Structure 1
Amino acid sequence: MAVDRTMAKERAEVVETGEARPLYLRIRDQISGAIAAGRLPKDALLLEGHVAGIFSSTRTPVRQAFALLETEGAIRRFDGRGFVVGRGRGAPLRIALTSDMFGDGEEAQPLRKAPAWETIYEALEREMVHLSVFGRHRINEVELARAKGVGRQVARDALTRLENLGIVEKDERMRWTVVPLDEGRMRDLHDIRVALEPVALRQAYPFMPEQERTAMTARLRRALAGYPDLSLEEMDGMETDLHITLLGHCPNREILIALRRARFMLNVSKHIMGVSHVMPKDEPFIAEHLTVFAALEVGDVEGAAEALRHHIAVSLPKVIGRVAEFRATHRPEVPGYVMAAG
């Protein structure tokens, strides 16, 4: 039953690869084995993106694997980006990570087959979110494929992923369009999150691994102490921890599907804040997340659900303000594959 209750993202990974074990655990085991065998030397620097590339993974399961390894004492944080191998206070050893370091004497095999659309997705998502703030635009699928240097099917798969998140849609003539993001839509999406995320938390609680939750709490405490000296990657990681990874233990798949489009607002915050990387004067959510985790720690599920509801509710004016400021101070860079809707 435990496998059946894994996170929504991991379910997709399991279906795709045919593996019964969550991807982040397999990555954790590979790294742990490499450290124990000495293939990853003490103080070696580990970065999410580099490790994800070696295993043909996205960053999310790598981030989860790092969190477990940190809790186990196999890796540690330092005053910089990423983790270093082992305990102590040695300076990071910046070496080139190679696949044979993770492969028990031979080149490590990718733990999943990376979909081709992933190669263009992150940049495409950022472009589409920025354009959504300025109204509806039409996307030429053929020109998108040409601009990104991929086949048309790859471009279509990336757009379909964006469609699942409500960032793009097809109009009445089956043409791809960017869905406009105005204040009304932001309020509608927040209403969905306020209503459903507390329900998902209540249902997910019995299936949350304690070790995972502890690692997330520790990450929040370090971030609160170090704010505002945080990277966008760290900020996005903490949002992912609570709103996607932890709630992903909810066994009600229909709730998770309904929340998928509403979580578009997390992408908005990430990409809008990412334009300038100017942190708000007051930390935006870390203390509120800690309130949720503190209640979970003592088994107060209803208190945690109410804290989560409050956190989402009070975040709406902040997001609306960021989007309004972005709209007033920036002009969209319109790629050649995008044109005015009409």
Structure 2
Amino acid sequence: MIVTGQALAETGAESAEGGLDKSPLYLRIREVLAEAIASGRLPKGALLLEGPVATLFSSTRTPVRQAFALLEAAGQIRRFDGRGFLVGQGRGGPKRVVLTAEMLGLDEEAPALRKAPAWEAIYESLEREMVHLSVFGRHRINEVELARARGVGRQVARDALTRLEALGIVEKDERMRWTLVPLDEQRMRDLHDIRVALEPLALSQAAPFIPPAERHAMTLRLEEALAAYPDLSVEAMDGLETDLHITCLGYCPNRELLIALRRARFMLNVSKHIIGVSHRMPADEPFIAEHLAVFRALDVDDRARAAETLRHHITVSLPKVIDRVAELRVAHRPDMPAYATPVAR
């Protein structure tokens, strides 16, 4: 199984025997949580939230969200009328316990599964700032000023910029200077062309390898989100996008295909940083029903219909994204950070 994006970066932790454990991080998180539940260290009714659990594992929320989906499908945790999950089954309310490393077996002799890179502390807010700024044209990015503005070392700033470069948000010019790539309509169309051509193919190849329990958990999240819209957080919306476009496609065995898709995934980041943050939540839900149609086709193993439904979904999403970016350009002018300088056309 191949896992891309953040999950791909979060593989390869040291095993207890000192070797390299190549299983995806979300599976290792699932195993640790499952063992803690089975042993009783996590008591029945204990409230599990993505943020605190991610902190204990020195992880981002994405692999924790995936681990929760598997645990829910296995009946080890359950949803309730509130945020997060509760350990075990039943009708009782949440038991608010303070999660500790010891409860999960992550003591000094069994450390967290991955040491979080220093750049992660600044990355999410930096990505949002860069996406907003890219709407207003090309900018030169000063690495030294970025480090000073974020209160980090220059290497940390460089690592964050390198991550942004992998998504095509920034690039280096002929003099090896960092440049913010402008987000204009032509670029959005070009990136969507890549997604229309490659994502359906990746889904067709991934379909046999997506665990049914995980797929079922994703479908349930979509159904609940559709019923609750627009009362959804930006994080929840992003999680639904991640389920289909990153997690499911990540099971595609063709790694070269996934690498080719990586830069085009930038368009998901655009929507994430505009909807509900610097832009109003759309009156009509923007993609949930379309995602559900893809999963319905996967449920009956109709890969051709799933691929065609995904292709249609990506195609019709382009005008929505273009309109949101155009409205953002009119309604929102971000403050110019000290590390950015506009480049004249």
Same fold (TM > 0.5): yes
Worse-matched range after superposition: 230-239 or 8-17: 8-17
Q: Is the 8 A contact 2:279 2:328 kept in 1?
A: no
Query: Closer, same or farther in 2 for the Cα pair 1:250/1:34, shift >3 Å?
Result: same
Structure 1 counterpart of 2:315? 313
- Residue of 154, 157, 160 corresponding to 2:159: 157
The structure carrying a bigger helix percent of its residues is: 1
The alignment yields a C-alpha RMSD, in angstroms, of: 1.8
Q: Distance in 2 between matches of 1:189 and 1:73?
A: 40
How big is each residue's C-alpha offset from its partner over 1:43-67, in whole Å with a ceiling of 9 and x where there is no partner?
Answer: 2221212111111112111111000
Structure 2 counterpart of 1:33? 35
Structure 2 counterpart of 1:249? 251
SS of corresponding position for 1:339: strand
Q: Is the 8 A contact 2:13 2:113 kept in 1?
A: no
> What does residue range 196-211 of structure 1 map to in structure 2 within 5 Å?
196-211=198-213
Q: Percent identity?
A: 74
Query: Closer, same or farther in 2 for the Cα pair 1:302/1:84, shift >3 Å?
Result: same
Structure 2 counterpart of 1:8? 4
How big is each residue's C-alpha offset from its partner over 1:229-286, in whole Å with a ceiling of 9 and x where there is no partner?
Answer: 1111111001001000100111111111111111100000000114257321111111
Query: Closer, same or farther in 2 for the Cα pair 1:107/1:322, shift >3 Å?
Result: farther
Q: TM-score, normalised by structure 1?
A: 0.94
SS of corresponding position for 1:135: coil
Q: Distance in 1 between matches of 2:117 and 2:256?
A: 25
SS of corresponding position for 2:86: strand
How big is each residue's C-alpha offset from its partner over 1:181-200, in whole Å with a ceiling of 9 and x where there is no partner?
Answer: 01111111111100000110
Aligned AA for 2:11? V
Worse-matched range after superposition: 205-214 or 118-127: 205-214
Structure 1 counterpart of 2:181? 179
Query: Closer, same or farther in 2 for the Cα pair 1:151/1:16, shift >3 Å?
Result: farther
Q: Is the 8 A contact 2:189 2:318 kept in 1?
A: yes
> What does residue range 43-192 of structure 1 map to in structure 2 within 5 Å?
43-103=45-105, 109-192=111-194
Structure 2 counterpart of 1:296? 298
Structure 2 counterpart of 1:282? 284
Query: Closer, same or farther in 2 for the Cα pair 1:108/1:271, shift >3 Å?
Result: farther
Query: Closer, same or farther in 2 for the Cα pair 1:176/1:224, shift >3 Å?
Result: same
Worse-matched range after superposition: 192-201 or 102-111: 102-111
Structure 1 counterpart of 2:326? 324
SS of corresponding position for 2:99: coil
Q: Distance in 2 between matches of 1:336 and 1:40?
A: 46
Q: Distance in 2 between matches of 1:230 and 1:74?
A: 25
Q: Is the 8 A contact 1:134 1:332 kept in 2?
A: no
Query: Shift in Å at residue 304 of structure 1?
Result: 0.3
Q: Is the 8 A contact 2:136 2:182 kept in 1?
A: yes
Q: Distance in 2 between matches of 1:15 and 1:174?
A: 31
Q: How many residues align?
A: 338
Query: Closer, same or farther in 2 for the Cα pair 1:80/1:341, shift >3 Å?
Result: farther
Q: TM-score, normalised by structure 2?
A: 0.93
Q: Distance in 2 between matches of 1:24 and 1:276?
A: 31
Q: Which runs of no fewer than 5 residues in structure 1 stay unpaired?
A: none
Query: Closer, same or farther in 2 for the Cα pair 1:118/1:148, shift >3 Å?
Result: same
Q: Distance in 2 between matches of 1:128 and 1:65?
A: 30
Q: Distance in 1 between matches of 2:231 and 2:73?
A: 22
Q: Distance in 2 between matches of 1:303 and 1:165?
A: 29
